Amino acid sequence: MKNKFMLLTVVIAFICNSCSIDDDGANFHFTALEIIDADVPESFNLNETYVISVRYLKPDRCTYYEGFDVIKDSLTVRNVVAIGSVRTDLNCTEEITEQTASFNFKVIYADPYTFKFYTGENSDGDPEYLEVVVPVNKS
Protein backbone atom coordinates (compact mmCIF):
# COMPACT_ATOMS: atom_id res chain seq x y z
CA MET A 1 0.00 0.00 0.00
CA LYS A 2 2.82 2.34 0.89
CA ASN A 3 4.48 1.74 -2.52
CA LYS A 4 1.23 2.46 -4.38
CA PHE A 5 0.85 5.74 -2.50
CA MET A 6 4.43 6.79 -3.39
CA LEU A 7 3.87 5.85 -7.05
CA LEU A 8 0.62 7.82 -7.14
CA THR A 9 2.39 10.85 -5.57
CA VAL A 10 5.18 10.71 -8.17
CA VAL A 11 2.68 10.46 -11.06
CA ILE A 12 0.65 13.42 -9.77
CA ALA A 13 3.82 15.49 -9.28
CA PHE A 14 4.95 14.66 -12.81
CA ILE A 15 1.59 15.65 -14.32
CA CYS A 16 1.50 18.92 -12.39
CA ASN A 17 5.04 19.90 -13.46
CA SER A 18 4.90 18.78 -17.08
CA CYS A 19 5.70 21.14 -19.92
CA SER A 20 3.05 23.00 -21.82
CA ILE A 21 2.20 21.50 -25.19
CA ASP A 22 1.73 25.03 -26.50
CA ASP A 23 5.51 25.71 -26.38
CA ASP A 24 6.52 27.28 -29.71
CA GLY A 25 10.23 26.43 -29.33
CA ALA A 26 13.25 28.65 -28.99
CA ASN A 27 12.89 32.42 -29.12
CA PHE A 28 16.48 33.04 -30.22
CA HIS A 29 19.21 31.86 -32.57
CA PHE A 30 22.99 32.25 -32.63
CA THR A 31 24.81 34.40 -35.17
CA ALA A 32 28.35 35.44 -36.01
CA LEU A 33 29.10 39.08 -35.25
CA GLU A 34 31.37 41.14 -37.52
CA ILE A 35 34.80 41.83 -36.02
CA ILE A 36 36.23 45.20 -37.05
CA ASP A 37 39.55 45.23 -35.17
CA ALA A 38 41.68 43.16 -32.82
CA ASP A 39 44.35 44.22 -30.33
CA VAL A 40 46.97 41.48 -30.48
CA PRO A 41 50.52 41.72 -29.07
CA GLU A 42 53.38 42.26 -31.55
CA SER A 43 54.97 39.03 -30.31
CA PHE A 44 54.37 36.21 -27.85
CA ASN A 45 56.55 34.41 -25.32
CA LEU A 46 56.19 30.65 -25.08
CA ASN A 47 53.98 29.35 -22.22
CA GLU A 48 52.56 32.78 -21.38
CA THR A 49 48.91 33.84 -21.46
CA TYR A 50 47.79 37.01 -23.24
CA VAL A 51 44.56 39.01 -23.31
CA ILE A 52 43.35 39.61 -26.85
CA SER A 53 40.80 42.42 -27.19
CA VAL A 54 38.38 42.46 -30.09
CA ARG A 55 36.06 45.19 -31.37
CA TYR A 56 32.89 43.90 -33.02
CA LEU A 57 29.60 45.27 -34.32
CA LYS A 58 26.29 44.58 -32.62
CA PRO A 59 23.54 45.11 -35.24
CA ASP A 60 20.59 45.88 -32.93
CA ARG A 61 19.23 45.73 -29.38
CA CYS A 62 17.90 42.21 -29.95
CA THR A 63 21.42 40.83 -30.37
CA TYR A 64 23.46 39.95 -27.28
CA TYR A 65 27.16 39.10 -27.13
CA GLU A 66 27.69 35.53 -25.92
CA GLY A 67 31.44 34.94 -26.28
CA PHE A 68 34.07 33.82 -28.76
CA ASP A 69 34.40 30.67 -30.77
CA VAL A 70 38.15 30.10 -31.23
CA ILE A 71 38.68 27.21 -33.62
CA LYS A 72 42.03 25.51 -34.11
CA ASP A 73 42.39 25.31 -37.90
CA SER A 74 45.91 23.86 -37.80
CA LEU A 75 48.79 23.74 -35.31
CA THR A 76 49.09 27.54 -34.94
CA VAL A 77 46.18 28.91 -36.99
CA ARG A 78 43.11 30.07 -35.05
CA ASN A 79 39.79 31.19 -36.54
CA VAL A 80 38.11 33.64 -34.15
CA VAL A 81 34.38 34.41 -34.35
CA ALA A 82 32.42 36.66 -31.99
CA ILE A 83 29.13 34.91 -31.23
CA GLY A 84 25.84 36.65 -30.53
CA SER A 85 22.35 35.45 -29.73
CA VAL A 86 19.42 37.12 -31.48
CA ARG A 87 16.01 37.31 -29.80
CA THR A 88 13.37 36.44 -32.38
CA ASP A 89 10.35 37.32 -30.23
CA LEU A 90 11.12 41.06 -30.15
CA ASN A 91 10.63 43.69 -32.83
CA CYS A 92 14.01 45.43 -33.21
CA THR A 93 15.22 47.99 -35.67
CA GLU A 94 18.78 48.21 -36.93
CA GLU A 95 20.99 50.12 -34.52
CA ILE A 96 24.65 49.25 -35.10
CA THR A 97 26.87 49.74 -32.07
CA GLU A 98 30.56 49.02 -31.60
CA GLN A 99 31.45 46.85 -28.60
CA THR A 100 34.67 45.43 -27.17
CA ALA A 101 35.30 42.03 -25.59
CA SER A 102 38.39 39.97 -24.86
CA PHE A 103 39.60 36.43 -24.36
CA ASN A 104 42.69 34.82 -22.87
CA PHE A 105 45.10 33.00 -25.14
CA LYS A 106 47.92 30.72 -23.94
CA VAL A 107 50.93 30.26 -26.21
CA ILE A 108 51.93 26.59 -26.29
CA TYR A 109 53.82 26.33 -29.61
CA ALA A 110 57.06 28.01 -30.71
CA ASP A 111 55.86 28.62 -34.28
CA PRO A 112 54.22 31.94 -35.25
CA TYR A 113 50.45 32.09 -34.65
CA THR A 114 48.00 33.22 -37.33
CA PHE A 115 44.69 34.62 -36.10
CA LYS A 116 41.86 34.86 -38.62
CA PHE A 117 39.18 37.16 -37.20
CA TYR A 118 35.77 36.82 -38.90
CA THR A 119 34.79 40.18 -40.47
CA GLY A 120 31.62 39.14 -42.28
CA GLU A 121 30.74 37.83 -45.71
CA ASN A 122 31.58 39.18 -49.15
CA SER A 123 28.99 39.75 -51.89
CA ASP A 124 29.14 36.05 -52.85
CA GLY A 125 28.36 34.96 -49.29
CA ASP A 126 31.88 33.71 -48.58
CA PRO A 127 33.42 34.47 -45.17
CA GLU A 128 36.13 37.12 -44.93
CA TYR A 129 38.80 37.43 -42.26
CA LEU A 130 41.22 39.94 -40.77
CA GLU A 131 44.50 38.00 -40.55
CA VAL A 132 47.14 38.78 -37.95
CA VAL A 133 50.41 36.85 -37.65
CA VAL A 134 52.17 36.96 -34.27
CA PRO A 135 55.72 35.60 -33.95
CA VAL A 136 56.79 33.68 -30.86
CA ASN A 137 60.04 34.86 -29.25
CA LYS A 138 62.77 32.28 -28.99
CA SER A 139 64.08 32.33 -25.39
At residue 41, the pLDDT reads 97
Domain that holds residue 86: 25-137
User: For residue 13, is pLDDT > 60?
Assistant: no
Residue 10 lies in a domain: no
* Strand duo 49-60 + 35-39: pairing: antiparallel
Number of domains composing the chain? 1
Residue 69 lies in a domain: yes
Segment holding 87, helix H or strand E: strand 77-87
Say what the pTM is.
0.79
Residue 93 lies in a domain: yes
At residue 117, the pLDDT reads 98
Could you tell me the CATH number of the domain that includes residue 130? 2.60.40
At residue 21, the pLDDT reads 55
Closest by alpha carbon to 68, among 91, 90, 52? 52
